[in-house]
C-alpha cells in the first residue's frame, strides 16, 4: 500500500508497485499464464473455493492484472476492483452484478450509446426494465423509483453533452432507498473525480480512454466493495469470459505513470479550445464544464478537480455544416474513441450514439449538428489553428 499522505501523481506511480524479487526490476512483469500449479490437491481446492487467496485459471484472474486492479482500487478509494476486457464489459457487468430478472434500474438520460444499446436490446432478455430520467432533477429521480428498482446508473460528465450530475445528492437518494448507485467515471478518470468518496457504490471505467491514454488497449474496470467485485470476477468476468489479459494490463500500468501529466494537459488545452469556440461566430453552442456558461459550472468546480478533455459543440447550420467542418479538419482525426494523445473528432448522431433512435436522441439533447472533440496532447495553438481553418467557410456563411 502507498503512503496516504502522498498526492495523486505519486500514488499513481508507487501504489501496488511490485518489484521483481529476483531481478529487482521496477517495471511490472507480464505473466501471460493460463494455468497455475499447486503443491497439493488440498491447496488447489482451497484456492478454488476462496478459502485461500490465489489464482487458479486465467479467466478468473492473473498476477499482472491483479497489480493493476489494486492500483485502480486505491486511486478510486475503493475496497477492490476487477479488470475486464472493455469498457462495455465493465458497464454491463456492474449492471448485472446488482440486477436480475424482474428488477428495474433508473438511468440518466444523458448516457453513452453503448450503455443505451445494452439496456434497450439485451437487458430486456434478462427480464430487466429501465427508465431514462433527467438526473439533474432530483425529484424526477425519486419519482422514477419503483418497488422493484434495484439501482441508479449515471455518468458524469455525460457523453457527449457534458452534463454534470450531483453525485453526492444522488447518492443520498440511493441510500434512502437502499439501492446501489453506479457511476461511469470514464470522462474524468480518478485524477479529477472520485465518485466512491462522494457516496457512490460502484464506479465503472473504460480504461481504453484516459487510464491507458495511448489508444492501443481495450479494457474496463469496476471498482467498489469486495462483495460486488468478487461476484463479477467469479460469475460474470470468469463464467462469461470477459477477463482482461496480462499484456493489456501491463500497457495500462505503464500508461498510469503519466496519467496525471496527460490529464492536466488535456484539461488545459480543452479549456482554451472551449473558450475559442465559444467566441466564434460560426458556433451556436459549446458544452464544456469549464465555461461559466455551462449550466452546472459551479457544481463542476465543487465536485471535480479539473474539467476534462472533452468539448462538445454545435456548428451553425446544422448537420450539413457540421459535416463540412469535420471533413475540413487536418490535424484532428475522425474517430470513435477519446482520451488519446491525438485530437479526435466525431459526430455522435451517426457514430457513438447511432443506436439511439432520432426522436430519442433529441430527448437526450443529441442534435444532428452536435460534434464531440477529444482534445489531444498536441500544442493547443495547433489544435485551435486547425479548428480555425475548418471554420472559415462556416464563418463567412453565417456572419
Rounded distance between C-alpha atoms, residue 326 and residue 312, angstroms: 13
Out of 36, 56, 57, 59, the active site residue is 59
Out of 71, 161, 209, 372, the active site residue is 209
Q: How far is CA 346 from CA 100, 327, 354, in A?
A: 35, 10, 12
Q: Which residues contact 132 (CB under 8 A, 6 or more apart)?
A: 107, 108, 109, 111, 363, 364
Go through 182-203 and write b for each residue having 16 or more CB atoms within 10 A of its CB, e for each that does not: bbbbbbbbbbbbbbbebbbbbb
Q: Which residues contact 337 (CB under 8 A, 6 or more apart)?
A: 208, 209, 215, 344, 374
Please indicate whether residue 323 is annotated as part of the active site: no
Rounded distance between C-alpha atoms, residue 388 and residue 44, angstroms: 63
Q: Which residues contact 142 (CB under 8 A, 6 or more apart)?
A: 173
Cα-trace Rg, the chain? 22
Helices (H), the chain: 8-14, 41-49, 63-76, 87-98, 113-117, 138-144, 167-176, 189-192, 226-231, 239-240, 246-256, 259-278, 297-303, 318-328, 358-363, 380-398
Q: In what order do the strands lie in the sheet with 104-108?
A: 80-84, 220-224, 202-206, 181-184, 149-155, 104-108, 129-133
DSSP 297-316: HHHHHHH-SS--SEEEEEET
Rounded distance between C-alpha atoms, residue 363 and residue 387, angstroms: 28
Q: How far is CA 173 from CA 56, 118, 354, in A?
A: 40, 25, 32
Closest CA to 314 of 362, 279, 350, 282: 282
Out of 110, 112, 116, 361, the active site residue is 112
Grid cell in block for residue 366: 443529441
Q: How many CA atoms lie within 13 A of 133 on its CB side?
A: 24
Out of 80, 134, 184, 201, the active site residue is 184
Please indicate whether residue 153 is annotated as part of the active site: no
Please indicate whether residue 112 is annotated as part of the active site: yes
Q: Which residues contact 361 (CB under 8 A, 6 or more apart)?
A: 349, 353, 367
Please indicate whether residue 161 is annotated as part of the active site: no
- Residues involved in catalysis: 59, 112, 184, 209
Amino acid at each position: 500500500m502507498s503512503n496516504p499522505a502522498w498526492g495523486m501523481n505519486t500514488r499513481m506511480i508507487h501504489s501496488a508497485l511490485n518489484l521483481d524479487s529476483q531481478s529487482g526490476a521496477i517495471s511490472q512483469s507480464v505473466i501471460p499464464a493460463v494455468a497455475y500449479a499447486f503443491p497439493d490437491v488440498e491447496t488447489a481446492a482451497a484456492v478454488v473455493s476462496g478459502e485461500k487467496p490465489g489464482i487458479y485459471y486465467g479467466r478468473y484472474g492473473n498476477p499482472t492484472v491483479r497489480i493493476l486492479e489494486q492500483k485502480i482500487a486505491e486511486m478510486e478509494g475503493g475496497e477492490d476492483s476487477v479488470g475486464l476486457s472493455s469498457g462495455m464489459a465493465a458497464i454491463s457487468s456492474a449492471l448485472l452484478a446488482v440486477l436480475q430478472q424482474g428488477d428495474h434500474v433508473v438511468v440518466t438520460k444523458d448516457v453513452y450509446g453503448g450503455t443505451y444499446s445494452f439496456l434497450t436490446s439485451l437487458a430486456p432478455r434478462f427480464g430487466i426494465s429501465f427508465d431514462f430520467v433527467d438526473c439533474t432533477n432530483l425529484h424526477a429521480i425519486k419519482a422514477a423509483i419503483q418497488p422493484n428498482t434495484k439501482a441508479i446508473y449515471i455518468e458524469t460528465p455525460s457523453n457527449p453533452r457534458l452534463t454534470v450530475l450531483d453525485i453526492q445528492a444522488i447518492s443520498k437518494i440511493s441510500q434512502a432507498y437502499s439501492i446501489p448507485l453506479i457511476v461511469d467515471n470514464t470522462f474524468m478518470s480518478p485524477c479529477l473525480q472520485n465518485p466512491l468518496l462522494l457516496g457512490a457504490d460502484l464506479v465503472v471505467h473504460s480504461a481504453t480512454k484516459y487510464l491507458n491514454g495511448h489508444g492501443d488497449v481495450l479494457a474496463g474496470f469496476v471498482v467498489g466493495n469486495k462483495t460486488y467485485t468478487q461476484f463479477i470476477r467469479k460469475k460474470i468476468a470468469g463464467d462469461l469470459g470477459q477477463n482482461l489479459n496480462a499484456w493489456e494490463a501491463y500497457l495500462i500500468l505503464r500508461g498510469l505513470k503519466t496519467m496525471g501529466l496527460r490529464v492536466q494537459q488535456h484539461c488545459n488545452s480543452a479549456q482554451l479550445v472551449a473558450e475559442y469556440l465559444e467566441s466564434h461566430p460560426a458556433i451556436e453552442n459549446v458544452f464544456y464544464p469549464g465555461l461559466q456558461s455551462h449550466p452546472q459550472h459551479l457544481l463542476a468546480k465543487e465536485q471535480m478537480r479539473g474539467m476534462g478533455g472533452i468539448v462538445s459543440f454545435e456548428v451553425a447550420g446544422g448537420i450539413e455544416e457540421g459535416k463540412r467542418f469535420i471533413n475540413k479538419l487536418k490535424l484532428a482525426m475522425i474517430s470513435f474513441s477519446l482520451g488519446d494523445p491525438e485530437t479526435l473528432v466525431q459526430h455522435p448522431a451517426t457514430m457513438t450514439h447511432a443506436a439511439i433512435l432520432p426522436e430519442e436522441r433529441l430527448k437526450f439533447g443529441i442534435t444532428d449538428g452536435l460534434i464531440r472533440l477529444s482534445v489531444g496532447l498536441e500544442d493547443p495553438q495547433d489544435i485551435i489553428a486547425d479548428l480555425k481553418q475548418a471554420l472559415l467557410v462556416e464563418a463567412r456563411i453565417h456572419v
